[in-house]
């Protein structure tokens, strides 16, 4: 993760090491939330599970459980935060599978997509979740048992509203599809809480 001024000057590197780090967003308290493959295998969340300095040894890799291993290294990426200067790295999610696209809701919580197929088949369940910036109270927002749309990518809170817009995408597809308007006060699953704003896009 890098940071720079609006005019392109002052480029600063914030994360280091062998890990992939991406999709960074500023949090209201000045910290930064981002996705990273740096989560360790034993301690899944907290200060000890993230590489905090250049001098600290690399952590063992953690691979996706549906076929990932040293021969097929598909590293898991989950939510992390860091201070504005890149220090104090923390893994805030104990989740064992992929998470995507963090964004900040009006109340300061983090909206994100999560591939959760506990107690069901592994296909379509990439639903919308929320979590506090300190990693507490991870909770479902929409779609835990909803088969269409498969994925709720790139969520954004709509200004002046309790509603959320996201991209409806397919399983194992690129992040593209129709825009969907979600009213979480109507429900947490199925077709009733959502309106496809661009149904012509599939």
Q: Can you name the residues that pair with 33 across neighbouring β-strands?
A: 25, 81
Higher-pLDDT residue of 12 and 201 is 12
Q: Is pLDDT at 132 greater than 90 in this prediction?
A: yes
For residue 27, give the nearest of 107, 99, 128 by alpha carbon: 107
The pLDDT of residue 108 is 92
Cα distance between residue 151 and residue 170, in whole Å = 6
Six-digit token string for 14: 């914030």
Instruction: Give this prediction's pTM.
Output: 0.83
Place of tokens 């969907």: 180
Task: Write the pLDDT tens digit of every residue in 35-90.
Answer: 998 875 544 445 555 444 445 556 556 666 555 555 666 778 889 999 999 999 88
Higher-pLDDT residue of 191 and 56 is 191
Q: Other CB atoms closer than 10 Å to residue 21's CB: what's the count?
A: 20
The pLDDT of residue 51 is 45
The pLDDT of residue 64 is 62
Cα distance between residue 131 and residue 133, in whole Å = 6
CB 193 within 8 A of CB 180: no
Question: Mean per-residue pLDDT for 118-124?
Answer: 63
């Amino acid at each position: 993760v890098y940071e720079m001024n609006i005019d392109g000057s002052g480029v600063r590197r914030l994360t280091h090491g062998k890990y992939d780090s991406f999709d960074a967003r500023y949090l209201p308290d000045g910290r930064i939330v981002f996705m990273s493959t740096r989560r360790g295998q034993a301690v899944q969340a907290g200060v000890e599970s993230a590489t905090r300095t250049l001098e600290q040894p690399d952590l063992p890799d953690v691979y996706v459980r549906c076929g990932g291993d040293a021969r097929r290294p598909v590293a898991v990426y989950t939510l992390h935060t860091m201070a504005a200067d890149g220090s104090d790295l923390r893994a805030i999610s104990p989740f064992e599978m992929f998470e995507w696209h963090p964004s900040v809701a009006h109340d300061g919580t983090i909206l994100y997509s999560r591939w959760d197929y506990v107690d069901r088949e592994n296909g379509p369940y990439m639903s919308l979740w929320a979590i506090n910036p300190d990693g507490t109270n991870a909770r479902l927002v929409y779609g835990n048992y909803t088969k269409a749309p498969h994925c709720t990518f790139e969520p954004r809170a709509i200004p002046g509203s309790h509603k959320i817009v996201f991209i409806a995408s397919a399983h194992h597809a690129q992040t593209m599809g129709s825009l969907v308007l979600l009213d979480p006060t109507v429900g947490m699953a199925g077709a009733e809480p959502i309106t496809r704003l661009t149904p012509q896009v599939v």
